[in-house]
Amino acid sequence: MDGKVWREMGLSDSEYERIKEILGREPNYVELGMFAVMWSEHCSYKNSKPVLRLFPTEGPHVLQGPGENAGIVDIGDGQAVVFKIESHNHPSAIEPFQGAATGVGGIIRDVFTMGARPVALLNSLRFGKLEDERVKYLFNGVVSGIAFYGNCVGIPTVGGEVYFSKGYTGNPLVNAMCVGLIDHKDIARGIASGVGNSVMVVGARTGRDGIHGATFASEELSEESEERRPAVQVGDPFMEKLLLEACLELIRGGHVVGMQDMGAAGLTSSSCEMATRGNTGMEIDVSLVPRREEGMTPYEVMLSESQERMLVIPKKGSEEKVKEVFARWGLEAVVVGRVTDDGILRIKDGEEVVAEIPAKALTEQCPVYNPAQKVPAYLREVQEYDPGRLPEPEDYNRALLSLLRSPNIASKEWVYRQYDHMVRTNTVVPPGSDAAVIRIKGTSKGLALTTDCNGRYCYLDPYLGGAIAVAEAARNLVCSGARPLAVTDCLNFGNPEKPEIFWQFYQAVLGMSEACRVLETPVVSGNVSFYNETDGVAVYPTPVVGMVGLLEDIRFHCTQAFREEGDIILLLGETLPELGGSEYLEVMHGVEAGRPPQLDLNREKAVQHCCLEAIRRGLVKSAHDCSEGGLAVALAECCISGGTGAEIEIESSLKPHEVLFSESQSRIILTATEADVPAVKELAGQEGVPFAVLGRVSGDKLIISINRQGTAERLIDLPVREMEEAWREEIRCRMG
């Protein structure tokens, strides 16, 4: 076979030689295509596997960790939460609407294939600067695609994050997360067992869309990528809704041995992964697979990534029941093969055998690499930058308004108003607070959900940035009144074959792993997305953390809004001179440099425990973490959310812009009645957490004075209405 063929499929010469060794012969064209997609980075994790083993993946509540379609965590009373986050970056860069829409569809299928009913969607989105017309086009298309799919399928999109930075100009990041609920007895897995059991394809018909999509996701973007639109799938959320209901009915009726979504690499990945988990083989006749296009070859059928399809192993004798259930939902279910005992994935086209590959050769025998690492040359220069030499703003009111207008801080209402976040009527805290909160119907419990990552921090210090992503996610859940349970991650990086990129990846995972261990939040599912580069320029390292927390009593949920005149405003944690990597530095000085804020994980754990205990005891009325924009922005957000003002006086020897805009970690703003302040202070003392009274909820302005050596200087004096207008209108105005 001509070497050009396997190289065009993304295989190296040494990988081709390994395939020949495994098969004992040269592969044919169909087999080569199957190896190419399964050995792509997107499917095999061949560059990341050894590093991912650093993550803690076990815990007392973990029922299913990495390796299945989604993670599962026990929440008591025979119930569990199922969740996962995944990327759809490359497709969204080429066709933003369909790329984002099918990303949502795929992650929903990963959750309901486990037997769970999806109850919430979240996302984490990254784009270049909004001044760029192409960025606006991508932003609009991605948000529209997410809204279209989620709204049509009837699952609320309750939270997420959107960041804009020059680091994502050529390559947007689109990460979608789905959360589902399940009873322990209904948990299903993607396994093919029971020799002689039928193999069924259910759902949509197979077309040519998405062929080699997994390979496409394992290479850098370039000008030629625009020509790769055929690799972007087209989704049908109405069919997905029918598929969801039919699959859950089958699982709850006890008719299924195993079930798997046909995602990346389509029928190839679902068949070999299910066979591998079951330690079995599988025989499939592609001529029996329902198609929506004429003249499709076996190669095209095996590699198609057409959406809304599942591979099902029914219990023996249940084939007609499966067909009956799917027919009732207006869907096809067709027997296309059987489970075998020889470990071989055998593909036939009628009577002709077109591929014979050991299933485990596709899933477990891909070469695993340990790429070289090198500290990036830029790092020393950016970390040596000293923000301390910067001049103070002449007008602090103007500085705060500028930060509130920054698209990274400004209201994302333009985004989430397009999402139906109230469908199914379980949403207690909608988008716009630290975390979304949904009730678990029939119980007193609730779930808090968030996605978090600061890519700028990770660019400046990947280890610290990775740890902060975990810490902030947990802090956001705690501020909502929830105990953090577990993590799903989406690790977005450039080309791992470049030593500087792989160093970033390794350091970020190290930082995340340490934070997960200290905060007791194991990683139960996730996704690695490499090759996020355009014309050789990589995105900022962006390890997104999706986290789920449990509220034992939904009545004790908390929001960031200041609530009542006279409430006392408190601060847990300590403000340090840490403007490096801050939003203030970028907005006011056009600089993305310096060292990110330091993180003491033991202090972080103590602050979170103190906050959560105060909420559980009913001592606090609001809680909000300090993150982008620092203390001044956090206070403004609390005022805007509550529609009320605040009078603040802070004693500090720091420079005023450090006090107001430093992004020091492990800080939470609380409000409490005057009578409850001593109890909160006592809790903080028990935990060894710095505690300060900042002021009180009052009037219709945010007034901030800084007291240095006994003299108070009023630096901010802004009507809440003016702050709200700056914060609420910016993205809406830019997007028209």
1-39+189-366: CATH homologous superfamily?
A: PurM-like C-terminal domain (3.90.650.10)
By C-alpha distance, which of 57, 160, 48, 49 is closest to 104? 160
Which residue in 536, 427, 542, 425 sits closest to 493, CA to CA?
A: 542
Residue with tokens 């690799």: 231
Is residue 90 part of an annotated ligand binding site? yes
Q: Exactly one of 42, 61, 421, 657 is catalytic; name it.
A: 42
The conformational region for residue 432 under phi > 0 = left, psi -120 to 50 = alpha, else beta, is left
| Residue 526 annotated as part of some ligand binding site | yes
Q: Which of 405, 695, 408 is nearest to 571 (CA)?
A: 695
The answer to whether 394 is a known ligand-binding residue is no
Ligand-binding annotation for 84, yes or no, is: yes
CA angle, residues 567, 568, 570, in degrees to nearest 5: 140
> Could you say which of 61, 88, 255, 624 is catalytic?
88
Candidates 85, 126, 32, 123; CA nearest to 407 is 126
Closest CA to 438 of 562, 549, 563, 560: 549
* pTM (2 d.p.): 0.96
Q: Establish whether 529 is an annotated binding residue.
A: yes
How far apart CA 624 and CA 606 sit, in angstroms, is: 16
Q: What is the pLDDT of residue 222?
A: 61
Residue 422 has a pLDDT of 79
User: In the numeric block, which tokens belong to residue 106?
Assistant: 């795929």
Domain limits of the chain?
1-39+189-366, 388-410+558-735
Q: Are 569 and 694 in contact (CB under 8 A)?
A: yes
pLDDT at site 421: 81
* CA dihedral angle for residue 566, residue 572, residue 573, residue 578, rounded to 10 degrees: -40
Q: Write down the residue that tokens 């953090």 correspond to.
A: 484
CATH superfamily of the domain spanning 388-410+558-735: PurM-like C-terminal domain (3.90.650.10)
441 is in an annotated binding site: no
Q: Any catalytic annotation for residue 88?
A: yes
The per-residue pLDDT of the chain, averaged, comes to: 95
State yes or no: 352 annotated in a binding site: no
Among 659, 666, 597, 664, smallest CA distance to 632 is for 659
The predicted-structure confidence for 627-673, as pLDDT tens digits, reads as follows 999 999 999 999 999 999 999 999 999 999 999 999 999 999 999 99
The predicted-structure confidence for 331-349, as pLDDT tens digits, reads as follows: 999 999 999 999 999 999 9
Q: Which pLDDT value is given to residue 420?
A: 87
Q: List the Cα angle 360/362/365 in 5-degree steps.
A: 70
Asked whether the domain spanning 388-410+558-735 has the same topology as the one spanning 1-39+189-366, the reply is yes
**109 marked ligand binding residue:** yes
Q: Tell me what pLDDT residue 220 has.
A: 66
Q: What is the pLDDT of residue 425?
A: 72
pLDDT, residue 192, reads 97
Q: Exposed (0-12), middle (13-18) or buried (19+): which is 278, by Cβ within 10 Å?
A: buried
- Quote the pLDDT of residue 234: 83
* Backbone torsion region of residue 524, taken as left when φ is above 0, otherwise alpha when ψ lies between -120 and 50, otherwise beta: alpha
233 is in an annotated binding site: yes
Average pLDDT across each block of 10 residues of the chain; the chain has 736 residues. List them in order.
84 95 97 96 94 98 96 98 97 94 96 97 97 96 97 95 95 98 96 97 92 62 55 86 97 96 93 98 98 95 94 97 98 98 98 98 96 97 94 97 98 94 81 93 96 98 99 98 99 97 99 99 98 94 99 96 98 98 98 98 99 98 98 99 98 96 99 98 98 98 94 96 97 93
Residue type, 86: E
42 is catalytic: yes
What does the alpha-carbon distance between residue 516 and residue 522 come to, in Å, rounded to a whole number?
6
Separation CA 370–CA 357 (nearest Å): 26
Say if residue 307 carries a ligand binding annotation: yes
